[in-house]
Amino acid sequence: IAVKFFIQKDLATEIQAELCDTITTLGGRVESKVPRQGFMLTQPGSAEAERLRLCWNSRDRPERYFVPYSYVEACKIAGTLLKQIFLENGEPIKFFIHPSIANPNARAALSARIAHSGGDPMATAQNARVILADPNTEVFQHLVNSYQGVPDKYVESFLWVKKCVERSAVNYTPLIYKNPGGRRPGEERTQFSEEDEQHLCHWIATKIPYKETGGRTGNRLYQQLVEMVTEPEFAWVTRHTWQSWRERYKKNSTRLDTVIQAIVEQKKTMPGEKGQYGYVRKPEEKKRNKRRKTSGAEPTEEDDFLNMAAAGAGPPPPPPPQPQMPNMAHTIQMPMPGQEMHHGVPPPGMGGMMYGPPPPPPPPELLQQMRASPAEEEMEEEGPEWTVRVGNEPPPAWGKRRAEEEHPGDDNDPKRLRTADEQQGVPQPPHPMLGALGPNGGPNGMHVVDQGILDIAREYRFTVEEVHEYYDRCGAMDRTRARFQKMRETLNALEDDAH
């Protein structure tokens, strides 16, 4: 028998003609009146579609279905007549598509599949029977928890619709029983045996051998016991929970303490042995670094040990024996400043202070030992090589060598200041009060600073002593030059009062 279709009269003529052609080609039949059984092709959301549903939807005609006119094309693509499964008591099941399904194309395809199978995808979250959401989002589990206590309301994944269409049946996600814990009614508790108590006493005797330390009724002791289930010799801990082990000792502590004490006396356990509960490794004490008063303080034994460890060497050899100096503090008496030392006679003004006889000179052997000390020999070997310049004396030999190495050609020294006469090639004799040739000496045998002082004195017609005195106070050649330039301009500006 051909399937009958009724087309909504106010649809566009082109749509009606195309529907008639497709239905006829697929073997169906288009009726001009509403059939007793068949499909009513409507425009969803239109006033005429609502009128047809109100007038012709009846429980007496369960085989009369109201579907959108796109149903024909969907059946053609599927190659079969899509069953109307989303119906309950002749009424379409209402669906709400949650915003967690954000893809608009996915939402449109899901809505069309629900409508082609008899459901209503345009319901709200409050009056919908099924809420479709994305299971990969956090809001999905929130929806499940929110509506798990609401009857006749289900939260399903968007893939659930496809499964129902493929199976041609509506099967909501079933609920399974999750044991909330505790014993079931009529289930007997595992009784404690003598072997269980013996294991428990051995555990407590190992961890807390002495009751006065405390901790035998704490939780962590028995939690650690249950955590030992991975060890083969502790397979017996699975017979009870850690709470049961704790309660067993707590309620029978007087009797079990006697058994524990006997085990401790047999093993001769001492407090603080490894493995006992409550004992931890004592942290190593950190030594406080003492601040050294002087930079030349002698290194400590710890520093010597670290240095030897870093160098990979053995212990240092003992220091060579030093010659013993006689203690002459009680024989040598030093006079006060400004006073002479007299043999046995106190200096004037010293009152009754007594002076002993002068000490005898040290023996020649002691002088030879003192003379032969390594430090003194080293200083003697240095000799005049490390002498320094004093006052206006000529520099030492090592200073002249360094000056010659740093400035082999005095004419090429970029830091040397040249006077106007030197620029013209006129040699300048050194001033008698200026210093001798220094590290930065010029071709005339004068230091750069001395040459600058001499130039200023000649240029502004002042004495070298005046320029040298001011330069020693300020220490800047530019400032000295500006000073005497200003002084010369001031003197030139004075009026001649000879008349």
Q: List, for residues 97-133, the tens digit of each pLDDT value.
A: 999 999 999 999 999 999 999 999 999 999 999 999 9
pLDDT in tens, 459-474: 999 999 999 899 988 8
How many CA within 13 A on the CB side of residue 492?
8
Collapsed DSSP state (helix, strand, coil) of residue 157: strand
Name which of 153, 54, 161 is nearest 118 in CA terms.
161
Q: What average pLDDT score do residues 217-244 get?
A: 89
Residues 141-161 as b/e (b if ≥16 CB within 10 A, e otherwise) read eebbeeeeeeeebbbbbbebb
pLDDT at 304: 53
pLDDT digit string, tens, across residues 249-291? 999 999 999 999 899 888 877 776 655 665 656 666 676 666 6
Least confident of 29-43, 68-82, 288-302, 344-358: 344-358
pLDDT beyond 60 at 412: no
For residues 7-14, average pLDDT: 91
Q: Using CA atoms, how far apart are residues 255 and 267, in angstroms rounded to an integer?
A: 19
- Cα–Cα distance for residue pair 120/113, rounded to 1 Å: 10
pLDDT score at 289: 66
Q: Taking residues 31-57, report their average pLDDT.
A: 89
Domains in the chain: ranges and CATH: 1-73 (3.40.50.10190), 83-175 (3.40.50.10190), 194-267 (no CATH), 397-493 (no CATH)
CA-to-CA separations, 264 to 206, 210, 279, 299, in angstroms, rounded: 8, 8, 17, 51
pLDDT at 444: 55
Retrieve residue 451's tokens. Answer: 């040459």
pLDDT computed for residue 180 by the predictor: 66
Q: Which residues contact 19 (CB under 8 A, 6 or more apart)?
A: 5, 7, 11, 30, 41, 69, 72
pLDDT score, position 441: 47
CA distances 38 to 11, 198, 467, Å, are: 19, 80, 127
For residue 155, the cross-strand partners are 131
Q: How far apart are CA 277 and CA 258, in angstroms?
A: 19
Q: In whole angstroms, what is the distance from residue 458 CA to residue 74 CA? A: 116
Query: Side-chain half-sphere of 41: how many Cα atoms within 13 Å?
Result: 27
Classified as helix, coil or strand, 362 is coil
Per-residue pLDDT at 121: 93
The number of residues in the chain equals 499
Backbone angles phi, psi at 95, to 5 degrees: -120, 150
Is the distance from CB of 406 to CB of 439 less than 8 angstroms?
yes
Higher-confidence residue of 420 and 303: namely 303
328-339 residue pLDDT tens: 444 444 444 444
- pLDDT at residue 326 above 50? no
pLDDT higher for 219 or 326? 219
pTM (whole model) above 0.75: no
Assign residue 471 a region (left: φ > 0; alpha: ψ between -120 and 50; beta: otherwise): alpha
**Strand partners for 120:** 94
Which tens digits make up the pLDDT trace of 166-183? 998 999 988 777 766 666
For residue 90, the model assigns a pLDDT of 82
Sorted by sequence, the CB contacts under 8 Å of residue 96 that are 6+ apart come out as: 123, 124, 125, 128, 130, 131, 132
Residue 461, token pair as written in the block: 């017609």
The H helix count followed by the E strand count for the chain is 18, 9
| Residues 357-411 pLDDT 10s | 555 666 666 555 555 444 444 444 445 555 666 666 776 666 655 555 544 544 4
> Angle at Cα 445 formed by Cα 444 and Cα 449, nearest 5°?
95
Q: Check whether 458 has a pLDDT greater than 80.
A: yes
231 or 184: which leads in pLDDT: 231
Give the tens place of pLDDT for each residue, 61-84. Answer: 888 889 999 999 999 998 888 999
Query: pLDDT > 90: what percent of the chain?
Result: 30
Residue 161's nearest CA partner among 141, 138, 134 is: 134
* Per-residue confidence band for 1, with pLDDT thresholds at 50, 70 and 90: confident
Q: How many CB atoms lie within 10 A of CB 489?
A: 10
